């Protein structure tokens, strides 16, 4: 296997034996084969959509299949086998409808259009291993690097598109872009410039997808409002919900009402406490634990059932595996999966059978709910604060968390930010500092939690609105972006920021292994993107002069 799509890739170059994430050689081969089969299907779809042959189900299927290959989403070989077969069946059906002549022409364009999957799982895995997907993208290493960036960006884009579609928000242009781009990267006649443009276009299209998701979240559950969230617990049966899906949480809250079970969030679900239509449930109590990479330790100590709604799942250890349930795209072999009927009875039964918390623990609290609506609601105060010299600078310290020691930089950074500066944060990287008491500047909290990585749109809206208020370009604002990346949602958010022309982003803890020195230089020249410095103090000194 060779997989280097995420930040924790082995030796900083690539996982070749087994993924650091726990992905087996077999699952890696199946993910590559699924991607390949989707490329073939997408080539056919380019033709089929002109004849209006592409159904909504097919659009959803492809989007979900691309998302399933994102880091820490699905580790179940059987599901990948099913998706590969489904993808080939859809392709065959479309080719049949297009007629023999068109089918013959399309099959001549790329071998993925006539790919025939082996019947047996072992033989299918072998096909994936022989494929060598990354190498097959391009012979030229710089073009290959850009195609990988695009592919990983598409995985992030597919994730946000799927999240939005679940809430009924869709835009056909986003689906068309996903199909066209999967097909385009099979071509070997594209120049470096064309691929750079396509890379940035991925980012632009993601802005649409994230806007849809924002509409879906706020339209369904209301705009987040500043909310205090307990980090302790109360006595009673308990269910822990992790991942990113608000709708799964809502359905679970409905199904647990009056059952004596309290619902706790974990990881990226923390911001859900700020949504009016979710916080109205009295048994939606508080938050437990920190970021995804601590789950094996934290979940083993949770005395109730645990529901994973999406990434990031790690191998459930034996001491809590029986309490774990997955739903949606997330999956782990031999872990109970709740299907799309979303009947959470098995989760509820497990929670009732487990002891729950036997006594109350009064712990710290944190504040969430500073989405664009809440922040812009106090825009006048913020602008006045800047004009009066009380607010010197804004820092967006956001992105993923991970296990590497270099990530202490982000904790140090927030701790060392001067008192006349405001820190905005989003995604799971915040767990390094989310409980710090940074106080306020004239009533504006110095630490503003904008939400999940899924809420990056909110951060962009805030930056654009501030630029409008100060009548300047976003790059001229007293705002610096200090980002941490881990997986492909972060890749696509970064591409979105670059596509908006945002410069001087600091990225860490390490740079993506799939970027060649030439591609990296290109990004540095065009966007002045830079790796985080050795220490937070160094970067703070440079930024604040």
Q: Shortest gap between Cβ of 35 and ligand FS2 (angstroms)?
A: 18
Find out whether 21 is annotated in a ligand binding site: yes
Distance CA 443, CA 465 (A): 20
Distance CA 123, CA 29 (A): 11
Sign of CA dihedral 294, 296, 302, 305: positive
Which of ligand SF4, ligand FS2, none lies near 428, with the C-beta cut-off 5 to 8 A by kind? ligand FS2
List of residues contacting ligand FS2 (CB under 6 A): 72, 267-268, 292, 311-312, 400, 427-428, 452-453, 486-487, 489
Which of ligand FS2, ligand SF4, none lies near 3, with the C-beta cut-off 5 to 8 A by kind? ligand SF4
Find out whether 421 is annotated in a ligand binding site: no
Q: Which of 20, 469 has the CB closer to ligand SF4? A: 20
Which of ligand FS2, ligand SF4, none lies near 486, with the C-beta cut-off 5 to 8 A by kind? ligand FS2
Query: Beta partners for 393?
Result: 421
Distance CA 439, CA 444 (A): 8
Q: Shortest gap between Cβ of 19 and ligand SF4 (angstroms)?
A: 3
Distance CA 216, CA 214 (A): 5
Find out whether 15 is annotated in a ligand binding site: yes
Q: Which of 115, 485 has the CB closer to ligand FS2? A: 485
Find out whether 6 is annotated in a ligand binding site: yes
Q: Which of 41, 491 has the CB closer to ligand SF4? A: 491
Find out whether 69 is annotated in a ligand binding site: no
Find all residues with CB under 8 Å of 496, minimum gap 6, and list them: 203, 204, 206, 207, 210, 456, 460
Q: Which of 19, 429 has the CB closer to ligand SF4? A: 19
Find out whether 489 is annotated in a ligand binding site: yes
Q: What are φ and ψ of residue 242, in 5° steps?
A: -130, 175
List of residues contacting ligand SF4 (CB under 6 A): 3-6, 8-9, 15, 19-21, 23, 71
Q: In 83-186, at which residue ranges do the beta strands (DSSP E only) sit? A: none
Q: Which of 138, 298 has the CB closer to ligand FS2? A: 298
Which of ligand FS2, ligand SF4, none lies near 273, with the C-beta cut-off 5 to 8 A by kind? none
Distance CA 35, CA 41 (A): 10
Q: Shortest gap between Cβ of 358 and ligand SF4 (angstroms)?
A: 38
Are the CB atoms for 279 and 227 separated by under 8 Å? yes
Residue with the CB atom nearest ligand SF4 in the bound state? 19
Find out whether 244 is annotated in a ligand binding site: yes
Distance CA 32, CA 2 (A): 10
Q: Which of 117, 289 has the CB closer to ligand FS2? A: 289
Q: What are φ and ψ of residue 257, in 5° steps?
A: -55, 130
Q: Which of 38, 453 has the CB closer to ligand FS2? A: 453
* Secondary structure of 412-461 in HEC code, one letter for each residue: HHHHHCCCCEEEEEECHHHHHCCCCCCCEECCEECEEEEECHHHHHHHHH
Distance CA 70, CA 67 (A): 5
Q: Shortest gap between Cβ of 46 and ligand FS2 (angstroms)?
A: 30
Six token digits for residue 86: 């489904």
- CA 50 to chain CA mean position, Å: 31
Q: Which of 4, 265 has the CB closer to ligand SF4? A: 4
Q: Shortest gap between Cβ of 169 and ligand SF4 (angstroms)?
A: 28
Q: Shortest gap between Cβ of 293 and ligand FS2 (angstroms)?
A: 8
Q: Shortest gap between Cβ of 9 and ligand SF4 (angstroms)?
A: 4
Find out whether 472 is annotated in a ligand binding site: no
Please choose, from the candidates 439, 472, 441, 451, the residue with its C-alpha nearest in 3D space to the C-alpha of residue 396: 451
**Number of C-alpha atoms within 13 angstroms, CB side, residue 209?**
31
Distance CA 326, CA 308 (A): 5
Sign of CA dihedral 163, 164, 167, 173: negative
Q: Shortest gap between Cβ of 428 and ligand FS2 (angstroms)?
A: 3
Residues in the annotated binding site: 3, 6, 15, 21, 244, 268, 312, 400, 428, 453, 487, 489
Residues in the annotated binding site for [4Fe-4S] cluster: 3, 6, 15, 21
Residues in the annotated binding site for hybrid [4Fe-2O-2S] cluster: 244, 268, 312, 400, 428, 453, 487, 489
């Amino acid at each position: 296997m060779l997989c280097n799509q995420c930040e924790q890739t082995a030796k900083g170059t690539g996982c070749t034996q087994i993924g650091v994430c726990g992905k087996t050689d077999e699952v890696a081969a199946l993910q590559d084969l699924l991607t390949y089969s989707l490329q073939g299907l997408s080539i056919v779809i380019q033709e089929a959509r002109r004849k209006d042959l592409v159904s909504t189900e097919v659009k959803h299927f492809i989007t979900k299949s691309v998302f399933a290959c994102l880091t820490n989403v699905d580790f179940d070989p059987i599901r990948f086998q099913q998706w590969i077969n489904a993808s080939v069946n859809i392709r065959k059906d479309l080719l049949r409808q297009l007629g023999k002549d068109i089918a013959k022409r399309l099959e001549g364009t790329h071998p993925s259009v006539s790919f025939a999957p082996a019947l047996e799982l072992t033989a299918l895995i072998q096909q994936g291993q022989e494929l060598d997907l990354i190498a097959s993208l391009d012979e030229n290493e710089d073009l290959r690097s850009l195609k990988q960036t695009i592919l990983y960006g598409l995985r992030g884009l597919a994730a946000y598109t799927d999240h939005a579609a679940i809430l009924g928000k869709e835009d056909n242009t986003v689906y068309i872009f996903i199909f066209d781009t999967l097909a385009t990267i099979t071509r070997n006649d594209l120049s470096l410039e064309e691929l750079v443009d396509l890379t940035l276009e991925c980012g632009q299209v993601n802005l649409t997808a994230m806007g849809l998701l924002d509409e879906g979240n706020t339209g369904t559950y209301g705009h987040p409002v500043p909310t205090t969230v307990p980090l302790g617990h109360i006595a009673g049966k308990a269910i822990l919900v992790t991942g990113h899906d608000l709708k799964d949480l809502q359905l679970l809250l409905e199904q647990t009402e009056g059952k004596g079970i309290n619902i706790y969030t974990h990881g990226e679900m923390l911001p859900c406490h700020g949504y009016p239509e979710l916080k109205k449930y009295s048994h939606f109590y508080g938050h437990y634990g920190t970021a995804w990479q601590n789950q094996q330790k934290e979940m083993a100590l949770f005395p109730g059932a645990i529901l994973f709604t999406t990434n990031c799942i790690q191998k459930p250890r034996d001491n809590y595996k029986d309490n774990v349930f997955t739903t949606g795209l997330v999956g782990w072999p031999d872990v109970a999966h709740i299907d799309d009927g979303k009947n959470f009875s098995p989760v509820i039964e497990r929670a009732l059978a487990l002891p729950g918390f036997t006594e109350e623990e009064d712990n710290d609290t944190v504040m969430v709910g500073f989405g664009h609506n809440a922040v812009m609601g106090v825009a006048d105060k913020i602008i006045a604060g800047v004009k009066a010299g009380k607010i010197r600078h804004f820092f967006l310290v956001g992105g993923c968390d991970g296990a590497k020691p270099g990530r202490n930089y982000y904790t140090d950074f927030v701790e060392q930010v001067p008192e006349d500066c405001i820190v905005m944060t989003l995604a799971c990287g915040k767990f390094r500092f989310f409980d710090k008491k940074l106080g306020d500047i004239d009533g504006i909290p110095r630490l503003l939690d904008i939400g999940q990585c899924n809420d990056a749109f909110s951060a962009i809206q805030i930056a654009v609105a501030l630029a409008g208020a100060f009548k300047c370009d976003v790059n001229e604002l007293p705002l610096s972006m200090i980002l941490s990346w881990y997986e492909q949602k972060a890749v696509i958010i970064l591409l979105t920021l670059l596509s908006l022309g945002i410069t001087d982003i600091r990225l860490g803890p390490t740079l993506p292994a799939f970027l060649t020195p030439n591609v990296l230089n290109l990004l540095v020249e065009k966007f002045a993107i830079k790796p985080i410095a050795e220490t937070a103090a160094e970067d703070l000194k440079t930024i604040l002069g």
